[in-house]
Amino acid sequence: MILSDISIRAALESGHITIDPLGDNAIQPSSVDLRVSDTFRVFNNHKYPLIDTKQPLDGLTQTVTVTQEDPFILHPGEFVLGSTLERVSLPTDLVARIEGKSSLGRLGLLVHATAGFIDAGFSGWLTLELSNVANLPIAIYPEMKISQLAFFRLDQPASRGYGDPALGSKYQGQEGPTPSQFHKNFSS
């Protein structure tokens, strides 16, 4: 079941869901609008011949901070990581999906490649997987609405929420655009 605006408001007011800071007019009929932060992670393609998923690639990306006067310009075919301005915390009885805003999708901006699912118990800032499939560059301004979050109730609370040490959760508490930690899957 997808939560309605009434259920979302009640969950936010009771602290069952946390979205901080909640933007003005962010609550939609069945989702919450999220904004993009001012920090992006761009790929240093010139430093690596390939992405080896077994290896930590600490230098693969670098952070870039932008302003309202000097926004991030995402070129056609480019892929970068961004972050939501809001910190999101979910209880163990809810999951969420992040999707792009339709108006931005109509311009060719995609906000996730595959990681649109947020597990029950997750807490942190959401990393956005931004790509431009249009033919022209797209300006991305800090604090602009970029995505929407829909909430789904589980049939019963999860026995262990995301972040439980037994699950090997790699992104619990992440802040800002967080690079891949996939290499950690090979060490367990």
Active site residue 129: yes
Say which amino acid occupies 51.
Answer: I
Q: Are 37 and 67 in contact (CB under 8 A)?
A: no
Q: How far apart are CA 98 and CA 115, in angstroms?
A: 8
Name the phi and psi angles at 181, rounded to 5: -115, 25
Q: Are 80 and 40 in contact (CB under 8 A)?
A: yes
Which residue in the list 13, 69, 129, 143 is annotated as catalytic?
129
Strand 61-65 relative to strand 117-118, pairing: unpaired
- The H-or-E segment that residue 141 falls in is none
Nearest alpha carbon to residue 177 among 14, 33, 29, 43: 43
Q: Which amino acids are annotated catalytic?
A: 129
